[in-house]
């Protein structure tokens, strides 16, 4: 089973600069483990390793399987099928400053 994973710029140091990589697994957790084998250091950027959140996705990382946010479809237990498209996005925060002088 092959899954295509889109990698954000900030994580491409772990994929040799590749924007898209292929991996395999029947769940998101298995896919991440598979990606870690070929791209050391990637898993720790996606999954917490200590504290109350250990074993869960970091809250500042969003992962989508076929455009569906995995936080609403099972998290790391989300089922992955052959040919699925997985997108990893860093969470973005911020906003606009209030207009001055108006």
Ordered per-residue pLDDT tens for the chain, 102 residues: 799 999 999 999 999 999 999 999 999 999 999 999 999 999 999 998 887 778 889 988 999 999 999 999 999 999 999 999 999 998 876 666 666 655
What is the structure's pLDDT at 101? Answer: 58
What is the structure's pLDDT at 9? Answer: 94
Q: How many CB atoms lie within 10 A of CB 55?
A: 11
C-alpha–C-alpha distance, residues 100 and 14, integer Å: 42
Domains of the chain, earliest start first: 3-90 (3.10.20.30)
Q: For 54, what's the count of Cα atoms within 13 Å in the CB-facing half-sphere?
A: 4
């Amino acid at each position: 089973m092959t899954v295509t994973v889109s990698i954000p710029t900030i994580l491409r140091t772990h994929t040799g600069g590749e924007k898209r990589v292929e991996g395999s697994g029947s769940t998101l957790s298995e896919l991440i483990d598979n990606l870690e084998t070929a791209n050391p250091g990637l898993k720790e950027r996606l999954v917490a390793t200590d504290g109350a959140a250990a074993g869960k996705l970091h809250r500042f990382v969003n992962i989508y399987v076929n455009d569906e946010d995995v936080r609403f479809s099972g998290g790391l237990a989300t089922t992955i099928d052959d040919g699925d498209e997985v997108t990893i996005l860093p969470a973005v925060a911020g906003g606009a400053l209030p207009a001055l002088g108006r």
